[in-house]
Structure 1
Amino acid sequence: MIELFDLDSLSTVVVTAIGLLAAYFLNLHSKSVAPLLTYYPSQFNLDVLSNCDLLLKPYVPTFLWGKSGHVQTFLYGKMGRINSPYPLGDRHSFVMEDGATMTFDIFAPISNINKKCVLLVCPGIANSSESLYIRTYIDYAQRMGYMLAVLNHLGAVKSVDLTAPRLYTYGDTEEYAKMVKEVGLLYPDYMFIAVGFSLGANVVIKYFGEDVSRQDGFVGAVSSCQGYDILRLAARHFFHHWKQLRRLYILAMTRHQQGILRRSASSPMNNLLSLYFFDVKALMSATTLHQIDELYSHKRAGFNSCEEYYHWASSCNYIDKVRLPMLLLNAADDPIVPKEVLQVPHRIASEHRNVIFALTAHGGHLGYFEGGLIIPNTVTWLDKVVVAYCDALLHVITLSPPSSSSSSSSTKRPNQADGEDNKSDLNGANHVVTSKEDGNRKDDVIVSDVIGLSDSVV
């Protein structure tokens, strides 16, 4: 009896310990809260937020595992989305000056409402319109009345041959620029909003900052889950750290890129590897993206070092030149994008009158699953909030277009939002007002009092 009692007690202890560990890993104690919002309290920003309820209400992840950034990110990486639809679009192909074949797909609205607006989408690293999370977003946005043009990164679509010895890079905007130009010719009367996911958001912001005239014709932009400063991430060896299991995620991304390189062995890409005497064996044995960049990427892009390559590619070096209304969205539990680089969007939102930085407590990297006890909804909170922000942007600009600080801007598609400052609270949001000195001027920056950012972040 004593032995049986001891065995039962031990079993109880083990089960309890496992349960506590699971609860800790799944972050079950964490509350579902509204995003932390940082923005200058211009009338334009307040009007946008008052028409975008999702940014003011709690994001409620899938109950059992949705508060774990690791599970969110893992499910995004392995499954993309649950029961993802397969929207049908029209593929457009163009041969670039160096012989590379770039493609993008156009998806028409499938709603009775046509908002006369094209969302120009740049997916994440090595992704395309065929990626599951992009497919789900396309389908949802179509049903909300939007037309979409989605860039397919070079090498990302198996059915599209590489016709030049070149793959995508972290900061090359040439293909995105080509898509914008061609869509502008096809739909000259439509409004444009740029949408970028992860590395694609980096490309979008860099595209606007490289040449400010590119912002003409755009209503605004949305950036989701990007890292902003590739050089800083590399310099601090974030991609080599086991903290937040980041090394495992980078290994998976590295293997994906190596798969694309292998797939290109029978294409002109193979000639490139041979011509420049790249160490193919070392390239295929790499375990981090930085190793691939050292062996191949920075050389192919024409730089003397990875440091030069990363500096050129990082959107943080271009974002100050962007005068469009923007939503910058990140998750605090994103295991791939550390909080240290979130100084960039926080500063931009504090200084620009038409930028909102939203930091959610949960969501992981491009996860943002919601609904259900275990099995989430097909459409994610990310899909919804990006469309909701676009809706709010169109609503505010259509009803009361703000004046532009740029004389070259279209009156219908402003670059800089002005308006009388208003510090009134938005319904449903908890705000505190902090002040920052800028010379002799004192500006108020509103930050939602929801999630604390450490001093190392802001």
Structure 2
Amino acid sequence: MPFGNFVLIFFGICGVGFILYYILSVIETPVLRFNESEFTTQIISKTKRLTKKYYPTFWCFNHHLMLLLLMLRESKSKFYPYDKIEHLEMKDGGTTGLAWTGLSTANQRDLSPIIVLFHTISGDEQDVKATVSYLKKTYNWIVVVCIRRGHGNLPLTKPVINTMGSTSDLKEQLIYIKQKFPGKPLFGVGISAGSGLLARYLGESGSKSMFNAAVAVSPAYDIEKAFHRVHPVYSKIMGQRMINYFLKRHYESFARVKGSEELFHIKTLGEFQDKLHTISGHKDKFSYYQNSNPILVADKIKTPLLILNAADDPICVNQNVLENLHWLETLKNTIHVHTKRGSHIAFFEGLFANSWSDRLIGEYFQSILAITKQNAKRSKNF
């Protein structure tokens, strides 16, 4: 047989094998876990993406490739032009921020929602720009990113930082947003570490939460355990990122803070979190986790919540999910969406690697709005 024909046959067999593998092992319908009720049944029936097959991008469905593509896109994409970035002074003298988009085009007087977004562990308003842009362009909603103290270009006016965020800061931010738009419902979206802050707030607030609905993308659940389970390579990279992003950028602010020098010697993300109490305003490790760990209050969440995890996530690993199925399956008005692929907050789909999770977020919130409108109409008739 001519060598050229042999090569063609070889690659043909490889191609067929790849297609079969993709069809049989990659394409799948998400696994849903929920406490069955009229509400969850309505949400699932209206949110079509929950019951349709998820087609991860065929040329980068590997979890490491997805994460690499996500980081490349974030670093190479254009700077997102927010309408307005506000600096807010907190009661203790610290500074947080709000990055707004949609103020000039959305109807500020109707009952369309404001989407409140929470960024990643060492991010800011720019690292969630793809989600912000999608929700703004697709639905013309007002979107605001809550920037945590010490993140982005915010001045560190008080030497206190919590990578996971502070619920006391968040409450002040939400009150400000509500005062600005008193009639609009608030929908929360937490991305990675941002989902930890969102869940902690929802659990602490219970029925008094200011959110009408929320979505948590790639949460870690018990952060005291989860940060020690991050893939070793990513853990070391992220540990160094914490040093560069927080300590070196704000070196003058932390120079006189007792114990802050210890953080310069950490090797992993888990070590950094265990020592974070020295610069987060807590007296010790126990106090830090007691006041920051979302898992301690998760069972008290009352707000309708959609939670999304991928089983192949190398940062918020699948073990975190499996340990928490006992309450995920019973929490009222909560739907857990579990995909086989998706990596960490990437969830790419289709030839051009569009975000499946961004589209799910939009569909879920549309379902919430439709059910709210339907219930309001029903109540009016009675």
TM-score relative to the length of structure 2: 0.86
Higher normalized contact order (CA 8 Å, seq sep 6+, divided by chain length): 1
For 2:356 and 2:280, the matched residues in 1 are separated by: 36
Say what the alpha-carbon RMSD is for the aligned residues: 3.2
Alpha carbons of structure 1 residues 126 and 340: separation in structure 2 relative to 1, 3 Å: same
For 1:150 and 1:326, the matched residues in 2 are separated by: 19
Hey, what does 1:48 align to over in structure 2? 43
Alpha carbons of structure 1 residues 103 and 206: separation in structure 2 relative to 1, 3 Å: same
Alignment of 1:221-300 (within 5 A): 221-233=214-226, 237-239=228-230, 246-260=231-245, 261-266=247-252, 268-272=253-257, 276-279=258-261, 283-294=263-274, 296-300=275-279
For 1:178 and 1:298, the matched residues in 2 are separated by: 22
- Aligned residue identity for 1:124: T
Alpha carbons of structure 1 residues 361 and 284: separation in structure 2 relative to 1, 3 Å: same
- The question of whether the paired residues in 2 share the 8 Å contact of 1:328 and 1:345 is answered with no
Residues 1:385 and 2:351 aligned together: no
- The question of whether the paired residues in 2 share the 8 Å contact of 1:229 and 1:314 is answered with yes
Question: Sequence identity, in percent?
Answer: 23
Q: CA deviation at 1:81?
A: 7.9
- Aligned residue identity for 1:63: F
User: Runs in 1 of length 4+ with deviation above 4 angstroms?
Assistant: 26-29, 81-85, 109-115, 302-305
Counterpart among 165, 169, 172 of residue 178 in structure 1: 172
For 1:58 and 1:84, the matched residues in 2 are separated by: 31
- Which secondary structure does the structure 1 equivalent of 2:216 belong to? strand
Hey, what does 1:395 align to over in structure 2? 370
Superposed CA offset, 1:43-62 (max 9, x none): 11111111111111112121
For 1:27 and 1:270, the matched residues in 2 are separated by: 53
- Aligned residue identity for 1:250: S
Superposed CA offset, 1:350-380 (max 9, x none): 22331111001111001112221xx524xx1
- The question of whether the paired residues in 2 share the 8 Å contact of 1:107 and 1:149 is answered with yes
For 1:354 and 1:302, the matched residues in 2 are separated by: 34
Hey, what does 1:209 align to over in structure 2? 203
For 1:383 and 1:50, the matched residues in 2 are separated by: 19
- Aligned residue identity for 1:298: H
Q: CA deviation at 1:299?
A: 2.6
Where does structure 2 lack aligned partners over 5 or more consecutive residues? none
Where does structure 1 lack aligned partners over 5 or more consecutive residues? 240-245, 404-410, 413-458
- Aligned residue identity for 2:331: H
Alignment of 1:266-345 (within 5 A): 266=252, 268-272=253-257, 276-279=258-261, 283-294=263-274, 296-303=275-282, 305-343=284-322
Higher helix fraction (1 or 2): 2
Alpha carbons of structure 1 residues 82 and 392: separation in structure 2 relative to 1, 3 Å: farther
- The question of whether the paired residues in 1 share the 8 Å contact of 2:160 and 2:280 is answered with no
Q: CA deviation at 1:283?
A: 2.9
Alpha carbons of structure 1 residues 128 and 45: separation in structure 2 relative to 1, 3 Å: same
- Which secondary structure does the structure 1 equivalent of 2:172 belong to? helix
For 2:142 and 2:56, the matched residues in 1 are separated by: 28
Alignment length (residue pairs): 368
Hey, what does 2:69 align to over in structure 1? 75
- Which secondary structure does the structure 2 equivalent of 1:271 belong to? coil
Higher Rg of the two aligned structures:
1
For 2:44 and 2:78, the matched residues in 1 are separated by: 29
- Which secondary structure does the structure 2 equivalent of 1:222 belong to? strand
Higher mean alpha-carbon deviation, 341-350 vs 147-156, is at 341-350
Alignment of 1:76-155 (within 5 A): 76-80=70-74, 83=77, 86-108=80-102, 110=105, 116-131=112-127, 134-143=128-137, 144-155=139-150
Superposed CA offset, 1:246-296 (max 9, x none): 011112222221112111124x23333xxx1533xx5334221232234x4
- Which secondary structure does the structure 2 equivalent of 1:337 belong to? coil
For 2:350 and 2:335, the matched residues in 1 are separated by: 26
- The question of whether the paired residues in 2 share the 8 Å contact of 1:197 and 1:226 is answered with yes
For 1:277 and 1:61, the matched residues in 2 are separated by: 45
- Which secondary structure does the structure 2 equivalent of 1:223 belong to? strand
- Which secondary structure does the structure 1 equivalent of 2:212 belong to? strand
